Amino acid sequence: MVEPSLNFDSVTITLNQSISAERTSIIYEGIDSNKELVVVKIAKKNEYLFCFKQERDALTRLSELNSPHIPKLLLSNINTLIITPFFVHSQYHIVHRDLQKYNFLRDNNGNILIADRRYSVIEGDNMPFAGVLECMPDDILESLDNNKAINYNPRMDFICLVRSLYLMFHNPVMERFSFDKVLENRNFKKQLQEIKTFWFSHGNSSE
């Protein structure tokens, strides 16, 4: 049960309504003490607090850019993020890792914004796989197929973006399952081969 208001020292955030539900969090529209609109992300479970730390660290650095296209982190605690109403790549070598259609948002001016950085990492970080399997670049698919460490870099995000847009526009039939179950799935290797074959016949990301 979520309280109708949240207190951060001298600031009170009043929750208006739930506007979205992600795998790790519930997102609310809120109003701060100055009657300004804010976005509130609250973790569903304690096991997702690490994701919140990742997103909080990324937003803290991205906020330094003072870009109108990147939400700013206003307040936070261990399981809650308060941010301005809505992201993009950066000079800090932050890799999003989860560029998919559900994380592309359109503002009132028609601009496309990139949301949700809870799985973001710094380039070179050694982290478990995260993301949408069918959007991954060929080298990531090969690493997963051969049980090798994944090299996370900004190029990965670029290829994921291109492939996500392709899948959105052409809407091919492709089986999906949650990335946190990828390595446990009995059909993982089979699906991996199907995805590699699909992209081989629809354009190779290494070219």
pLDDT value, residue 178: 56
CB-CB neighbours of 140 under 10 Å: 21
pLDDT value, residue 189: 80
**Residue percentage of the chain with pLDDT more than 90:** 8
pLDDT at residue 180 is higher than 70: no
pLDDT value, residue 76: 92
Superfamily of domain 1-87 in CATH is Phosphorylase Kinase; domain 1 (3.30.200.20)
Q: Are 26 and 15 in contact (CB under 8 A)?
A: no
pLDDT at residue 184 is higher than 80: no
**pTM score, two decimals?**
0.53
- Looking at residues 99-124, what average pLDDT do you find? 77
pLDDT, one tens digit per residue, over 133-168 is: 888 888 888 998 888 888 888 778 878 888 888 888
pLDDT, one tens digit per residue, over 82-91 is: 888 654 444 5
pLDDT at residue 203 is higher than 70: no
pLDDT value, residue 88: 41
pLDDT value, residue 14: 93
Bigger pLDDT: 203 or 58?
58
pLDDT value, residue 13: 93
Cβ contacts of residue 15 below 8 Å, gap of 6+? Answer: 2, 3, 4, 5, 6, 28, 29, 30, 40
CB-CB neighbours of 102 under 10 Å: 12
Cβ contacts of residue 99 below 8 Å, gap of 6+? Answer: 114, 131, 135, 157, 160, 161, 164
pLDDT at residue 111 is higher than 70: no
pLDDT value, residue 89: 45
Bigger pLDDT: 174 or 119?
119
- For the range 162-165, what are the long-range contacts, defined as Cβ-Cβ under 8 Å and sequence gap of 24 or more? 162/205, 163/134, 163/135, 163/136, 163/137, 163/199, 163/205, 164/99, 164/100, 164/101, 164/104, 164/132, 164/135
CA 182 – CA 187 distance, rounded (Å): 9
pLDDT value, residue 86: 53
Residues of the chain with CATH 3.30.200.20: 1-87
CB-CB neighbours of 178 under 10 Å: 11
pLDDT-derived band of residue 172, with 50, 70 and 90 as boundaries?
A: confident
- Looking at residues 1-14, what average pLDDT do you find? 83
pLDDT at residue 74 is higher than 80: yes
CA 180 – CA 7 distance, rounded (Å): 33
